[in-house]
């Protein structure tokens, strides 16, 4: 089949297997070009391993530190008539490269929130690895079924307290316009915390510890976005921010509960980037198009792989981690410092439908967006007939 992008709203409904493989290879090449990285993880569990920050974590663990990686993701397989999701093809490409390089890699595709998948993962660890010394928690999901009650919760992306009117960019219609977001109800806030808060991260660590598959001094981190004034009303101080605050509670609870194993748990704050999760958040495409412009001009622009390599090198396995007063690792300083934020704010105040393409790095945003689905990569023949039935 010849595969061209089918963009619907903030998502692309198909993906390109050869393009996804090229994009995974690009990240692997970047990591391998860094040379010897020193002491790092040995047996890594990446929950949310197939796209975005989780995929970058898996690539850094395996190709940077030679670690064995066990991944969990929730991706759709291909059929003869429909492509798989991008995360499926990324995972297949990762496996192919790992095999070529004699690196252990197994992936379990299923609902990470469920007890069944936790049990499957534990059985796999017992069979192949013995124990895990790094657990990366990188899930982004709109819903979660609580395995204890069977109830399904949905997350919402709404302000807290009062309505918020702001500029936004509609990627599908190429339009900058005002949007008013109504405040969340108490139930919507509580449900978002249920989905994107720390409960499931804690349950993973509890299950792994109880099964005896956590190494002493095992490290674990869950990813967050904190941002600044421009994004606080829709992110940091909104429903999703409330859920992310719950990660701080969970980190402290994990350290306390598993003190016998001296488990080291931190939330890591990363910069805003184009991923499938962030393109779904109102305001973020506009904000990201502007920060790409400013940070590329400053020479401080980074993608997922650069951010994660920095996190491993300076925080998780480095001597001088940047920690904030909540014990979080901070990798977002190049975005959130006052000088950079002032430049972004100046552009934000001026941006309109007419000058959007000129003031922002829309081209960069769009390139990265399509690349998430394996489109627009150099050296890939998009007119070629390709087989969607790729597996691992
Ligand atoms: P993403 O959409 O690229 O990745 C999400 C991953 O979660 C995928 O591997 C997907 O398969 C997996 N997943 C989703 N639901 C699942 C389920 N039920 N069971 C198993 N796997 C499931 O998202 P991302 O942007 O890389 O986000 C990862 C984390 O990083 C999130 O916690 C997010 O808040 C955080 N973060 C993102 C940004 C950003 O700008 N993108 C910035 C800072 C922090």
pLDDT the model gives residue 15: 98
The answer to whether position 275 is within a domain reads yes
The answer to whether position 391 is within a domain reads no
Q: Which residue has the tokens 């017992």?
A: 126
Which contacts of 252-261 are long-range, i.e. CB under 8 A and separated by 24 or more positions?
252/327, 253/198, 253/202, 254/201, 254/202, 254/205, 254/220, 257/202, 257/205, 257/206, 257/209, 258/205, 258/209, 258/214, 258/218, 261/209, 261/214, 261/215, 261/216, 261/217, 261/218
> Token digits for 365?
């945003």
Q: Please pick, among 30, 137, 223, 235, the residue that the annotation labels catalytic.
A: 235
- What is the largest distance, in Å, between two alpha-carbon atoms of the chain? 60
Using a 6 Å cutoff on CB, does residue 284 contact ligand 1? Answer: no
State the number of CA atoms in the 13 A half-sphere of 265 facing the CB. 24
Using a 6 Å cutoff on CB, does residue 48 contact ligand 1? Answer: yes
The answer to whether position 387 is within a domain reads no
Distance 113 CA to ligand 1 centre (A): 13
Distance 350 CA to ligand 1 centre (A): 32
The answer to whether position 270 is within a domain reads yes
Task: Compute the C-alpha angle 293/299/301, nearest 5°.
Answer: 60
pLDDT the model gives residue 309: 98
Cα–Cα distance, 298 to 159 (Å, whole number):
31
Cα–Cα distance, 162 to 182 (Å, whole number):
7
pLDDT the model gives residue 245: 97
Using a 6 Å cutoff on CB, does residue 72 contact ligand 1? Answer: yes
DSSP 323: B
Report how many domains make up the chain. Answer: 1
Residue whose CA lies nearest to ligand 1 atom number 21? 73
What domain range is 256 assigned to?
A: 7-371
Distance 196 CA to ligand 1 centre (A): 10
Burial level of 391, CB count in 10 A (0-12/13-18/19+)? exposed
Residue whose CA lies nearest to ligand 1 atom number 34? 224
The answer to whether position 384 is within a domain reads no
pLDDT the model gives residue 170: 85
Q: Which residues contact 117 (CB under 8 A, 6 or more apart)?
A: 72, 108, 110, 111
Using a 6 Å cutoff on CB, does residue 278 contact ligand 1? Answer: yes
pLDDT the model gives residue 9: 82
pLDDT the model gives residue 173: 82
What is the domain-level CATH number for residue 132? 3.40.50.720
Number of Cβ atoms within 10 Å of the Cβ of 129: 20
pLDDT the model gives residue 130: 98
Q: Which residues contact 294 (CB under 8 A, 6 or more apart)?
A: 340, 343, 344, 347
Query: Does residue 312 carry a catalytic annotation?
Result: no
Per-residue confidence in pLDDT tens, the chain, 392 aa: 999 999 988 889 999 999 999 999 999 999 999 999 999 999 999 999 999 999 999 999 999 999 999 999 999 999 999 999 999 999 999 999 999 999 999 999 999 999 999 999 999 999 999 999 999 999 999 999 999 999 999 999 999 999 999 999 888 788 899 999 999 999 999 999 999 999 999 999 999 999 999 999 999 999 999 999 999 999 999 999 999 999 999 999 999 999 999 999 999 999 999 998 888 888 899 999 999 999 999 999 999 999 999 999 999 999 889 999 999 999 999 999 999 999 999 999 999 999 999 999 999 999 999 999 999 999 999 999 999 999 99
The answer to whether position 381 is within a domain reads no
The answer to whether position 340 is within a domain reads yes
Using a 6 Å cutoff on CB, does residue 366 contact ligand 1? Answer: no
pLDDT the model gives residue 282: 81
Pocket test for ligand 1, best of 140, 225, 280, 283 (most atoms within 8 A of CB): 140
Nearest atom, ligand 1, residue 332 CA: 43
What stretches of 157-223 show up as alpha helix (H) in DSSP?
186-196, 199-210
The answer to whether position 262 is within a domain reads yes
Packing angle between helix 362-371 and helix 284-298, nearest 10 degrees?
110
């Amino acid at each position: 089949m010849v595969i061209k992008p089918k963009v619907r709203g903030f998502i692309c409904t198909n993906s390109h297997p050869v393009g996804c493989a090229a994009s995974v290879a690009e990240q692997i090449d970047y990591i391998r070009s860094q040379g010897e990285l020193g002491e790092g993880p040995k047996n890594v569990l990446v929950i949310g391993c197939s796209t975005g920050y989780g995929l970058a974590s898996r690539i850094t663990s395996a190709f940077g530190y030679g670690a064995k990686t066990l991944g969990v993701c929730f991706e759709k397989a291909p059929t003869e008539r429909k492509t798989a999701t991008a995360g499926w093809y990324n995972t297949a490409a990762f496996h192919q490269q790992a095999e070529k390089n004699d690196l252990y890699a197994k992936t379990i595709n299923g609902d990470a929130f469920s007890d069944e998948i936790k049990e499957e993962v534990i059985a796999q660890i017992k069979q192949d690895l013995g124990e895990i010394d790094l657990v990366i928690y990188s899930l982004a999901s709109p819903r979660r079924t609580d395995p204890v009650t069977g109830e399904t919760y949905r997350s919402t992306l709404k302000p807290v307290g009062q309505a918020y009117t702001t500029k936004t960019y509609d990627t599908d219609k190429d339009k900058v316009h005002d949007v008013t977001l109504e405040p969340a109800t108490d139930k919507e806030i509580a449900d978002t915390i249920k989905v994107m808060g720390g409960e499931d991260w804690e349950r993973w660590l509890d299950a792994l510890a109880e099964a005896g598959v956590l190494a002493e001094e095992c490290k674990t981190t869950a990813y967050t976005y904190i941002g600044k004034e421009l994004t606080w009303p829709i992110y940091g101080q909104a429903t999703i921010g409330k859920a992310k605050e719950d990660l701080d509670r969970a980190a402290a609870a994990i350290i306390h509960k598993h003190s016998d194993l001296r488990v080291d748990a931190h939330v890591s704050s990363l910069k805003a980037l184009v991923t499938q999760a962030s393109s779904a958040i109102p305001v973020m495409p506009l904000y990201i198009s502007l920060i790409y412009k400013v940070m590329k001009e400053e020479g401080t622009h980074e993608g997922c792989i650069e951010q994660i390599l920095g996190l491993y090198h300076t925080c998780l396995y480095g001597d001088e981690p940047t920690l904030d007063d909540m014990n979080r690792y901070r990798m977002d300083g190049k975005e959130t410092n006052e000088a950079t934020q002032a430049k972004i704010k100046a552009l934000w105040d001026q941006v309109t439908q007419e000058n959007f393409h000129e003031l922002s790095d829309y081209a960069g945003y769009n390139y990265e967006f399509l690349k998430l689905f394996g489109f627009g990569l150099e050296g890939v023949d998009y007119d070629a007939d390709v087989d969607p039935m790729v597996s691992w």
